[in-house]
């Protein structure tokens, strides 16, 4: 039997009442069956001595009522009952119990006068037995048990005491004493029953609370990572019956600067609101969770098509683009979403998640601020990634890796100011692999630190052979900014004996953003060493001017993306001009990357740019080709 909770009812009381009713519903039919059988035997034993009204009619009426009660309680079993109905049922039982008890007693005592001593014993046994079984069967429902006892015992005792027969008097006294003891037991038992039920309720409450805590993200109150994967498993299991679904991994772009610059409280506020906005933008049948940090996940269920899921995800991205109000200002972020449909799952939640995550990685690179659906091309790229990973694991770094150098030129004089070292890898198994392919793979582990240091050692040695005024630019990865890796890098620079002023380390904007505090302390350490620091690929990532101002930088390298269509697109030209002006105002050197044509060079010179790098001036060169290919350009200006 279940109770619907209705309002204004103490849930503990409701649950207790439910427990009482459940126990009662189990016992009461037994009680009525015992009563019915006993009444039949008593009636039968008096059939020949008592009038028919007493031996047949009266018990028939009483037994009919008992049967009705058996049916009523049997039908109540496993049927939901609301709180008021449950209370009514118990109240009826409380009233009907004593009335029936009195009825049976009256009937039995009426038979007494027709009985011989044996039959009298049967009557007394029937009455006493009724009381005892009533109390036993109603131990959980104290009021009902007490009602029956009060309706039967005093009257029966009085009856026996007043018979003037010593044996009956003794039975009366016995009966009263046994009943008193039973009533005491009834009180003790019903109290401990109540305590047990309340204890069970508390245990259940605690375990519900534990379940809630284990499955909810405490900051946003959204389901957490554990719940997300459990839900994903459920979705995969039900894919046959409930149709396909689409999983999305959502990553906020530009959240870290808010945390770094405005503090964690502001960051938390943004995350909470982002969670709310995502939930509001999601359609029905959408499950949103926070995986951790600034990463959320979503499951679009209900047989959505790829196009529908992309539409929902686009709406979510748009919802996050509105500014977030913060104390003393507002902040803007965006979100990229990687999606994958259940058709691609191969039965594994892990695989689905990895593919969505890959689509997200792709979105961040190519379609930042928008959703991307995992596709066959992505599958090929992943295979390539794994192949590169395999080859890299077994690569002999010192033998298979080399360096090329690309000059950074003063476009007005044509003189080389410095050379940027660029890694090259020819693998015996994978062939020539572009750094754009192997650097991201190496960056996933500490292998990148080994590669960086092996190549830096070589670059420092090569640079020692160049004229003193020619500098060396060397690329660092985010993982190279850790204190341990920094120690190794600084040690190599010191040991090389190269004038630190000739050395510039390039760090991409994305690497600097990954952990602002770490980047800041690494750059400070490099500054203390006397080397320069350049922000690489500026404008390609999620730029934050605040970053540029806060980091100890000497140089900015403007990303090739802006130069690509500078000849045709006035907007690219305007953006480049404002970046060049920014460098001038901040007194930072400015290098333009990827200059390929003379027209580009002339436009850039017109915008006030001097330092340029690109195929127009020279492709990356082998160290031994530098003197031959650059010749005069290497001479001091």
Q: If contact means CB under 5 to 8 A according to the sort of partner, which of Ca ion, ligand C2E, none does residue 251 touch?
A: none
482: its two tokens: 């850790």
Q: Are 99 and 62 within 8 A, CB to CB? A: no
Euclidean distance between CA atoms 212 and 219, whole angstroms: 13
Residue 255 Cβ, how far from ligand C2E at the closest point, in Å? Answer: 23
Interface with Ca ion, residue 506, by CB under 5 A: yes
**Contacts with ligand C2E, residue ranges (CB under 6 A):** 406, 421-423, 434-436, 439, 455, 475-477, 506, 536-537, 560, 593-596, 613-615, 620
Q: Which is nearer to ligand C2E, 111 or 476 (CB)?
A: 476
> Residue 599's CB: how many other CB atoms inside 10 A?
12
- The distance in angstroms from the start CA to the end CA of the chain is 95
Selected binder of Ca ion within 179, 289, 475, 618 (CB under 5 A): 475
Q: At residue 390, what are phi and psi to the nearest 5 degrees?
A: -60, -50
Q: Which is nearer to Ca ion, 315 or 610 (CB)?
A: 610
x/- letters, 536..565, toward Ca ion (CB under 5 A): xx----------------------------
Q: How far is CA 401 from the centre of its chain?
A: 42
Residue 408 Cβ, how far from ligand C2E at the closest point, in Å? Answer: 10
Q: Are 556 and 590 within 8 A, CB to CB? A: yes
Q: If contact means CB under 5 to 8 A according to the sort of partner, which of Ca ion, ligand C2E, none does residue 434 touch?
A: ligand C2E
Euclidean distance between CA atoms 532 and 519, whole angstroms: 14
Euclidean distance between CA atoms 245 and 236, whole angstroms: 9
Residue 494 Cβ, how far from Ca ion at the closest point, in Å? Answer: 23
Q: If contact means CB under 5 to 8 A according to the sort of partner, which of ligand C2E, Ca ion, none does residue 615 touch?
A: ligand C2E
Euclidean distance between CA atoms 408 and 502, whole angstroms: 13
Residue 523 Cβ, how far from ligand C2E at the closest point, in Å? Answer: 15
Q: At residue 265, what are phi and psi to the nearest 5 degrees?
A: -65, -45
Q: Which is nearer to ligand C2E, 115 or 508 (CB)?
A: 508
x/- letters, 279..318, toward Ca ion (CB under 5 A): ----------------------------------------
Q: If contact means CB under 5 to 8 A according to the sort of partner, which of ligand C2E, Ca ion, none does residue 614 touch?
A: ligand C2E
Nearest C-alpha neighbor of 56 from the set 43, 37, 38 = 43
Residue 379 Cβ, how far from ligand C2E at the closest point, in Å? Answer: 24
Q: If contact means CB under 5 to 8 A according to the sort of partner, which of ligand C2E, Ca ion, none does residue 455 touch?
A: ligand C2E
Euclidean distance between CA atoms 519 and 29, whole angstroms: 77
Counts for the chain of helices (H) and strands (E), in that order: 25, 19
Q: Are 291 and 297 within 8 A, CB to CB? A: yes
Q: At residue 301, what are phi and psi to the nearest 5 degrees?
A: -100, -165
Q: Which is nearer to ligand C2E, 86 or 422 (CB)?
A: 422
Q: Which is nearer to ligand C2E, 305 or 434 (CB)?
A: 434
**Which H/E stretch holds residue 582?**
helix 570-585
Residue 624 Cβ, how far from ligand C2E at the closest point, in Å? Answer: 18
Region of 203-211, 443-451, 471-479, 487-495 interacting with Ca ion (CB under 5 A): 471-479
Interface with Ca ion, residue 477, by CB under 5 A: no
Radius of gyration of the chain (CA): 43
Q: At residue 71, what are phi and psi to the nearest 5 degrees?
A: -65, -45
Residue nearest to ligand C2E (CB): 614
Binding site for Ca ion (CB under 5 A): 475, 506, 536-537, 593
């Amino acid at each position: 039997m279940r109770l619907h909770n209705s309002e204004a009812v103490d849930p503990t009381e409701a649950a207790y009442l439910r427990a009482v009713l459940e126990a009662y519903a189990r016992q009461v039919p037994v009680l009525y069956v015992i009563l019915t059988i006993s009444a039949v035997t008593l009636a039968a034993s008096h059939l020949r001595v008592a009038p028919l009204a007493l031996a047949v009619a009266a018990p028939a009426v009483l037994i009919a009522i008992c049967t009705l009660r058996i049916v009523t309680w049997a039908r109540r079993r496993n049927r939901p009952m609301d709180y008021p109905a449950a209370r009514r049922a118990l109240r009826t039982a409380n009233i009907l119990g004593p009335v029936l008890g009195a009825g049976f007693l009256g009937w039995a005592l009426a038979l007494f006068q027709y009985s011989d001593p044996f039959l009298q014993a049967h009557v007394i046994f029937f009455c006493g037995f009724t009381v005892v079984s009533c109390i036993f069967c109603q131990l959980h429902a104290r009021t009902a048990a007490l009602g029956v006892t009060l309706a039967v015992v005093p009257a029966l005792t009085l009856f026996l005491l007043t018979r003037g027969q010593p044996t009956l008097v003794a039975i009366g006294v016995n009966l009263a004493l046994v009943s008193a003891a039973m009533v005491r037991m009834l009180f003790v038992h019903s109290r401990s029953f109540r305590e047990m039920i309340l204890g069970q309720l508390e245990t259940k409450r605690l375990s519900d609370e534990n379940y809630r805590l284990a499955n909810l993200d405490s900051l946003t109150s959204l389901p957490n990572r554990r719940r997300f994967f459990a839900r994903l498993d459920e979705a995969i299991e039900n894919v046959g019956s409930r149709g396909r679904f689409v999983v999305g991994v959502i990553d906020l772009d530009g959240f870290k600067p808010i945390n770094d610059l405005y503090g964690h409280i502001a960051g938390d506020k943004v995350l909470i609101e982002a969670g709310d906005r995502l939930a509001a933008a999601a359609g029905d049948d959408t499950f949103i969770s926070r995986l951790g940090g600034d990463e959320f996940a979503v499951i679009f269920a209900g047989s959505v098509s790829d196009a529908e899921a992309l539409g929902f995800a686009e709406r979510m991205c748009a919802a996050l683009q509105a500014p977030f109000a913060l104390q003393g200002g507002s902040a803007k972020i965006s979100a990229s979403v990687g999606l994958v449909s259940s058709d691609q799952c191969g039965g594994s939640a892990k695989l689905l998640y990895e593919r969505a995550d890959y689509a997200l990685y792709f979105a961040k690179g190519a379609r930042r601020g928008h959703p991307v659906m995992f596709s066959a091309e992505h599958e090929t790229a992943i295979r390539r990634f794994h192949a590169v990973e395999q080859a890299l694991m077994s690569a002999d770094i010192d033998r298979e890796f080399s360096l090329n150098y690309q000059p950074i030129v003063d476009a007005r004089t044509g003189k080389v100011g410095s050379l940027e070292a660029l890694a090259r890898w020819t693998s015996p198994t994978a062939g020539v692999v572009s750094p754009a392919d192997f650097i991201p793979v190496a960056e996933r582990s500490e292998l990148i630190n080994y590669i960086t240091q092996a190549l830096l050692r070589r670059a420092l040695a090569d640079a020692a052979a160049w004229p003193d005024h020619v500098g060396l630019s060397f690329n660092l990865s985010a993982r190279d900014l850790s204190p341990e890796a920094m120690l190794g890098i600084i040690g190599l620079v010191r040991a090389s004996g190269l004038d630190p002023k000739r050395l510039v380390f390039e760090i991409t904007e994305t690497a600097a953003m990954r952990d602002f505090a770490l980047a800041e302390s690494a750059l400070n350490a490099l500054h203390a060493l006397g080397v320069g620091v350049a922000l690489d690929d500026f404008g390609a990532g999620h730029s934050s001017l605040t970053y540029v101002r806060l980091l100890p930088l000497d140089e900015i390298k403007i990303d090739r993306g802006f130069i690509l269509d500078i000849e045709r697109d006035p907007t690219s030209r305007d953006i480049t001009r404002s970046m060049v002006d920014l460098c001038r105002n901040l007194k930072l050197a400015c290098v333009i990357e990827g200059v390929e044509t003379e027209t580009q060079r002339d436009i850039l010179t017109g915008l006030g740019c001097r330092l340029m790098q690109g195929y127009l001036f020279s492709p990356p060169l082998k160290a031994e080709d530098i003197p031959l290919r650059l010749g005069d350009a290497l001479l001091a200006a």
